[in-house]
């Protein structure tokens, strides 16, 4: 059995990567040929997007936004969706359209209701089922656009079709197995083939690591001289800090050259991060600055009565934020010296209370219709996100395994659209620049997208990954009198005293698992009449869990196996071999009924929300 991301019988002629982001999304692709096998000369075609509101070939992303009609049917996507929505609002939205943007983060089961997604019009109050449909619709639009571009492109007289393509979609490193499965389901609904060799998922920092290993960077510091990521020294280590619109994902890698052809990357840090993307700076701007100027209750009312004008304030803040350039003091501290001056739409200004207008006019040095954000407020809004990012980087440094030529990492690479923020880059350089080399690629906004193309072209570029959790399965083991709880004791058909709910560890947290490594185990099937066998797959942060019912042990999925070949046999003969592959982006499982010698790729139904527990409805596992 191999990793589902390995190349097998399907040999693609084209590989396409989709970077589905909170703020913006895009695609890129590459043809497969002998010349293209030379990684550092591989040509990648990026989406040549040019639309109102932003986007160019150097930043190949459209806005992640969907406009639906009154029946919920998608009508427009990206910046076109925003333009049409604004036009509808100008007319009072007579057709009952709905508009959604920044909805990627709502896919998480634990996403708070007040998170960054924005649902307006008929989509107000959208639930997670609606979010899944929006994601599928958006991916479908990207899928169709990519196919149209590729099929229209002749490469040395060769044409390509949909059947020639392998797809790859990026996912945050902090996403769990259920969320990855949800992305696969959304891809399937979008018309993307989801066979294990046709669609790969890759974590965003991992894709960025591949990209950075092939691309020169710029050293961050007071002078910011040119420098290059060290990928030529065996054992060289670097951390990738992927700062996007919704999440910041961080992990660390080591260059491996011994015993393999060419350099490969081994993950040496446990993926970490959180909802710390640039969209949360915008949310903090609303929750603090706008709430301070208008009053919290008045802001709530204005958001309902003047949604277009409030959205315009956020857009103007976003434009100013992207163009913000911090200055570095002699001690390396980044500073903001220029206030942010935002023009307030006339309709919104007239709706403000007279006292509010007077106060804002005074703050704008006598100029009405303006909202001035002081440099101190700009710093505070940024620090609400940048501070936790720095703490997460520090935590990642402590998680990296010691050993090799250095302890921890000696290089930090900052990528993602948020990496364009000079304030963020300067704060990282200030905090860590004296100890490690801090770099940024030539184009940090496309690092994830470009790296995803490289990964789709050759998934074997990743040698191994570190397990984020201790994984194992639920089974029964011999009852230990005086140790195991009496309530878990049960007697089998053969008269054996067994303990239920035992946690059989397969992979421990922090353990490095090669992408081609298979962890095998076996268990007995009870009762004799069972034809379908279900195994609860559990995860925990604990290094030595004993029972699946312990605090922190959470059921993440169910593996289903067919054991009809051994029906009627005693349990000591009904042996089922299980082969786990944890080294890929997704977990893969295969089972083998030892009596019939039938091998099957197991179906894994990933649990929608953590915290659900419970025994299997089919057969039971014995040690």
Give CA torsion, residues 92, 128, 106, 318, to 10 deg: -10
CA nearest neighbour of 51 among 30, 16, 25: 25
Element at 427 (helix H, strand E): helix 422-432
| Integer Cα distance of 446 and 387 in angstroms | 24
pLDDT in tens, 128-151: 899 999 999 999 999 999 999 888
Lowest mean pLDDT of 225-239, 295-309, 504-518, name the range: 225-239
Query: How many C-beta atoms surround the C-beta of residue 315 within 10 A?
Result: 14
Backbone angles phi, psi at 72, to 5 degrees: 85, 10
Query: Tokens 């301070």 correspond to what residue?
Result: 292
Residue 19 near residue 208 (C-beta atoms within 8 A): no
Residue 253: what pLDDT? 87
Spell out the domain ranges in the chain: 278-381, 467-622
**pLDDT in the model for residue 225:** 52
pLDDT in tens, 80-89: 999 999 889 8
Confidence of residue 261 (pLDDT cuts 50, 70, 90): very low
| Number of Cβ atoms within 10 Å of the Cβ of 96 | 12
DSSP assignment of 62-102, as one string? EE-EEEE-TTS-EEEEHHHHHHHHHHHHHTT-TT--EEEES
The two three-digit tokens of residue 390, written as one number: 């720095």
Q: 3, 583 in Cβ contact below 8 A?
A: yes
Q: How far is CA 365 from the centre of its chain?
A: 44
- Tell me: the pLDDT tens digits for 399-452? 775 444 345 788 899 999 898 888 998 899 899 988 888 888 878 888 999 999
**Residue 57: per-residue pLDDT:** 40
* pLDDT for position 427: 92
Out of 90-99, 341-350, 438-447, least confident range: 438-447
Phi then psi for residue 293, to 5 deg, are -75, -45
What is the tens place of the pLDDT at every residue in 512-547?
877 777 888 888 887 788 888 888 889 998 989 999
The Cα–Cα gap between 78 and 247 comes to 20
pLDDT at 260: 37
Q: Where does 467-622 sit in CATH, by number?
A: 2.60.34.10
Which of 31, 20, 76, 425 minimizes the C-alpha distance to 247? 20
């Amino acid at each position: 059995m191999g990793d589902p991301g390995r190349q097998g019988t399907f040999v693609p002629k084209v590989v396409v990567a989709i970077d589905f982001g909170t703020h913006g999304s895009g695609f890129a692709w590459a043809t497969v040929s002998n010349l293209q096998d030379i990684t550092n000369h591989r040509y990648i075609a990026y989406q040549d997007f040019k639309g109102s509101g932003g986007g160019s070939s150097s930043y190949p992303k459209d806005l992640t936004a969907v406009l639906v009609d009154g029946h919920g049917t998608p009508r427009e996507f990206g910046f076109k969706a925003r333009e049409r929505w604004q036009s509808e609002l100008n007319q009072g939205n007579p057709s009952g359209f709905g508009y959604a943007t920044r909805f990627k983060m709502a896919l998480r089961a634990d996403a708070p209701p007040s998170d960054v997604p924005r649902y307006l019009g008929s989509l107000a109050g959208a639930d997670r089922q609606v979010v899944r449909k929006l994601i599928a619709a958006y991916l479908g639009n990207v899928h169709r656009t990519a196919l149209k571009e590729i099929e229209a492109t002749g490469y040395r007289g060769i044409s390509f079709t949909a059947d020639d393509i392998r797809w790859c979609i990026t996912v945050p490193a902090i996403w769990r197995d259920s969320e990855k499965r949800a992305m696969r389901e959304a891809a399937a609904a979008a018309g993307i083939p989801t066979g294990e060799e046709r669609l790969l998922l890759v974590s965003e920092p991992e894709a960025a690591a591949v990209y950075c290993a092939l691309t020169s960077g710029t050293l961050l510091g007071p002078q910011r001289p040119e420098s290059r990521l060290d990928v030529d020294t065996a054992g060289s280590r670097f951390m990738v800090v992927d700062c996007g619109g919704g999440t910041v994902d961080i992990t660390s890698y080591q260059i491996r050259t011994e015993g393999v052809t060419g350099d490969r990357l081994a993950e040496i840090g446990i993926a970490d991060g959180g909802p710390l993307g640039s969209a949360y700076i915008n949310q903090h701007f609303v929750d603090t600055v706008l709430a301070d100027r208008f009053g919290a209750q008045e802001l709530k009312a204005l958001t309902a009565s003047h949604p277009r004008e409030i959205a315009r304030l956020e857009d103007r803040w976003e434009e100013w934020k992207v163009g913000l350039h911090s200055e570095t003091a002699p001690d390396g501290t980044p500073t903001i010296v220029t206030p942010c001056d935002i023009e307030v739409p006339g309709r919104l200004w007239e709706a403000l209370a007279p006292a509010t207008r007077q106060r804002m006019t005074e703050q704008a040095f006598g100029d009405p219709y303006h909202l001035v954000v002081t440099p101190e407020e700009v710093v505070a809004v940024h620090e609400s996100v940048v501070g936790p990012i720095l703490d997460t980087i520090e935590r990642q440094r402590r998680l990296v395994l010691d050993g090799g030529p250095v302890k921890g990492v000696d290089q930090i690479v900052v990528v993602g659209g948020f990496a364009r923020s000079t304030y963020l880059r300067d704060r990282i350089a200030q905090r860590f620049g004296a100890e490690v080399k801090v770099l940024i690629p030539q184009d940090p906004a496309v690092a994830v997208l470009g790296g995803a193309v490289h990964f789709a072209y050759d998934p074997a570029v990743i040698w191994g990954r570190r397990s984020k959790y201790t994984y194992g399965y639920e089974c029964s083991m011999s009852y230990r009198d005086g140790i195991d709880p009496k309530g878990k004791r049960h007697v089998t058909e053969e008269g054996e005293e067994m303990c239920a709910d035992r946690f059989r560890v397969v992979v421990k947290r922090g353990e490095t698992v090669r992408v081609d490594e298979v962890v095998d185990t076996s268990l007995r099937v009870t009762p004799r009449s069972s034809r379908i066998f279900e195994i609860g797959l559990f995860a925990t942060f604990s290094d030595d869990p004993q029972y699946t019912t312990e605090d922190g042990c959470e059921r993440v999925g169910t593996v289903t196996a067919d054991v009809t070949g051994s029906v009627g046999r005693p349990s000591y003969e009904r042996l089922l071999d299980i082969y786990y592959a944890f080294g890929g982006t997704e977990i893969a499982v295969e089972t083998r009924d030892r009596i019939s010698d039938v091998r099957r790729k197991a179906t894994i139904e990933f649990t929608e929300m953590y915290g659900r527990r419970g025994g299997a409805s089919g057969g039971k596992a014995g040690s």
